[in-house]
């Protein structure tokens, strides 16, 4: 497979979630990535994009925000980067649920808080940086 | 996402097609609550669900809670491997009953 990359800018609205997942799936499928890995990568991106739309931009008082989605394949790694101008938010600093939390009966769980956990668990590497006024959420999946 | 809800023999059948993400989960939840009423036996067919995020898990959690307080339960039918993985990662799998077909699920309610 040759190295290539693509990017597209989406409005930061819930209606963009499916097109963002489709954009990632189309690129990954074209590069023969297996279905299960595509699903997990799409899930990770969907969860973080949802946070940007529902919290990042509203908290920054911005109602016409965008999310740039870049995807590239190189050196047996599929990498997605989300860039936005919303409120700085580092998902890595947010506490992850403990194994004890995950064993709690469903009825005792706080609603929510699972999105970032799922995002981080679903990719081989998750990274975050804030640079030049932009949040950059980075997702890497290793391809055998 | 498309959702169909039918009631037969005191069982509520929910059939979902498409993606359950944070864009569609709210609509799914209100459809379910609107039709659920005092019924407490639910079979949810996920055969045609190609994507489910934490927003979808929250709908399952809401339904589980609602039915538990009512002495009932929800049985999930044809959960894909990918969705099964999400349920395992989050521990949800321990609290839901999964079946391979609607027939199999129905037998639990007889």
Residues 6+ apart with CB under 8 A from A6: A23, A27, A70, A71, A72
Q: Map out the domains of chain B as residue ranges.
A: 2-102
User: Looking at beta carbons, which residues of chain B come within 8 Å of A54?
Assistant: 22
Q: Residue A101: what pLDDT? A: 73
In SS3 terms, B24-67 reads as: CHHHHHHHHHHHHCCCCEEEEEEEEEEEECHHHHHHHHHHHHHH
Q: Residue A107: what pLDDT? A: 57
User: Looking at beta carbons, which residues of chain A come within 8 Å of B58?
Assistant: 111-112, 114
User: Looking at beta carbons, which residues of chain B come within 8 Å of A112?
Assistant: 54, 58
Minimal CA separation from B16 to chain A, in Å: 16
Q: Residue A95: what pLDDT? A: 63
Which pLDDT band, with edges at 50, 70 and 90, does A4 fall under?
confident
Which pLDDT band, with edges at 50, 70 and 90, does A93 fall under?
confident
CB contact under 8 A, B91 and A104: yes
Residues 6+ apart with CB under 8 A from A75: A3
Q: Residue A122: what pLDDT? A: 96
Which pLDDT band, with edges at 50, 70 and 90, does A36 fall under?
very high
Q: Residue A52: what pLDDT? A: 96
Mean pLDDT of all residues belonging to chain A: 90
- Give the residue from chain B lying closest to A97, CA to CA: B90
| pLDDT more than 90, % of chain A | 77
Higher pLDDT, A111 or A93: A93
pLDDT (average), residues A59-88? 96
Task: Give the CA angle between residues A125, A126, A131 to the nearest 5°.
Answer: 130
C-beta of residue A48 within 8 angstroms of C-beta of residue A122? no
Any chain A CB within 8 A of the CB of B64?
Answer: yes
- Residue B85 has which token pair? 């993985």
pLDDT values of chain B reduced to their tens digit, one per residue, 110 residues: 999 999 999 999 999 999 999 999 999 999 999 999 999 999 999 999 999 999 999 999 999 999 999 899 999 999 999 999 999 999 999 989 999 999 999 999 98
C-beta of residue A1 within 8 angstroms of C-beta of residue A30? no
The CATH code of domain B2-102 reads 3.30.750.24
Q: Name residues 3-42 of chain A within 8 A of B (Cβ).
A: 14-15, 17-18, 21, 35-36, 39-40, 42
ipTM score for this prediction: 0.94
User: Looking at beta carbons, which residues of chain A come within 8 Å of B57?
Assistant: 114
Reported as a single tens digit per residue, the pLDDT across A48-71 is: 999 999 999 999 999 999 999 999
Q: Residue A109: what pLDDT? A: 61
pLDDT (average), residues A81-107? 80
Q: What domains does chain A contain, in order, with CATH numbers?
A: 4-142 (3.30.565.10)
- Determine phi and psi for A72, rounding to 5 degrees: -150, 155
């Amino acid at each position: 497979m040759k190295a290539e990359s693509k990017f597209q800018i989406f409005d930061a609205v819930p209606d963009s979630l499916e097109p963002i997942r489709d954009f990632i799936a189309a690129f990954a499928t074209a590069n023969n990535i297996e279905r299960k890995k595509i699903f997990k990568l799409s899930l990770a991106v969907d969860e973080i994009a949802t946070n940007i739309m529902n919290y990042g931009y509203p908290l920054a008082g911005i109602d016409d925000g965008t999310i740039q989605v870049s995807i590239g394949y190189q050196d047996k790694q599929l990498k997605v980067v989300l860039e936005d101008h919303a409120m700085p938010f580092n998902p890595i600093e947010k506490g992850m649920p403990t194994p004890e939390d995950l064993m709690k009966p469903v009825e005792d769980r706080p609603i929510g808080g699972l999105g970032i956990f799922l995002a981080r668990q679903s990719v081989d590497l998750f990274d975050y940086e804030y640079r030049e006024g932009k949040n950059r959420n980075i997702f890497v999946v290793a391809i055998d | 996402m498309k959702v169909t809800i039918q009631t037969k023999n005191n069982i509520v059948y929910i059939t979902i097609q498409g993606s359950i993400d944070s864009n569609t989960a709210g609509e799914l939840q209100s459809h379910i609550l609107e039709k659920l009423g005092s019924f407490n036996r639910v079979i949810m067919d996920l055969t045609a669900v190609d994507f489910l995020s934490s927003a979808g898990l929250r709908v399952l959690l809401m339904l589980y809670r609602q039915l538990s307080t009512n002495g009932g339960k929800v049985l999930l039918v044809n959960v894909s491997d990918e969705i099964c993985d999400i349920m395992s990662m989050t521990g949800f799998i321990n609290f839901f009953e999964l079946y391979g077909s609607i027939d199999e699920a129905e037998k639990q309610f007889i």
